[in-house]
Amino acid sequence: MVPTGCARDVHYCPLKNRRWTLFRSLSSPIAVHLETFPLIFGALLVLVGIGLLFDAWTVDEIIVKRERRRRPRTERHRGGEAAVGVGVICMGAAFIGRDTWSYSIVVVIAGAVFLLYGTIRNRAFLGTLISNRGALRRRT
């Protein structure tokens, strides 16, 4: 008798052609394959990238009519924000393409370049976003 899942006897091994699944032991009739998680994560990244592109290309007065802050907000670089959006879309496409897509390495490199370019173009905006401490700054 060969133990279940043993790789020694190829003819008997029940796990030879089975794909890894989650939630199969639960009472759910739907089996979620582990291979679908990168697809879902990639689709979410693409949606975030599309949102960043939309935010970069729309006028600011659509969402906020009037600025309520006393100090003017640091202006962001719209091209840099669009580059970050394209970089996030490239990373999402790499997740969707997985290892089987021929251009996955090219897309990851392009996504990293776009993310780096967008970060450099928005460094002043990111600096004030990170260093603006609100009430802590007012105490001094």
- Tens of pLDDT along 55-110? 888 877 666 666 666 666 677 888 999 999 999 999 999 999 988 889 999 999 99
Task: Count how many residues are written for the chain.
Answer: 140
Give the domain range for residue 120: 35-138
**17, 40: one domain:** no
Q: 8 pLDDT band (50/70/90 cuts)?
A: very low
pLDDT over threshold 90, residue 124? no
Q: How many domains does the chain have?
A: 2
Q: Comparing C-alpha atoms, which of 90, 13, 97 is closest to residue 50?
A: 90
* DSSP 8-state secondary structure symbol assigned to residue 139: T
Buried b (16+ CB within 10 A) or exposed e, 48-84: bbeebbebbeeeeeeeeeeeeeeeeeeebbeebbbbb
pLDDT score at 63? 62
pLDDT tens, position by position, 34-60: 788 889 999 999 999 999 999 888 877
Q: Are residues 107 and 121 in the same domain?
A: yes
| pLDDT of 3 higher than 60 | no
Q: Verify that 72 and 107 share a domain, yes or no.
A: yes
The alpha-helical segments, DSSP class H, found in the chain are: 36-57, 78-97, 104-121, 123-131, 135-138
Degrees (nearest 5) of the Cα angle 99, 103, 109?
100
**Between 18 and 80, residue with greater pLDDT:** 80
Report field, pTM of the whole predicted structure over 0.85: no
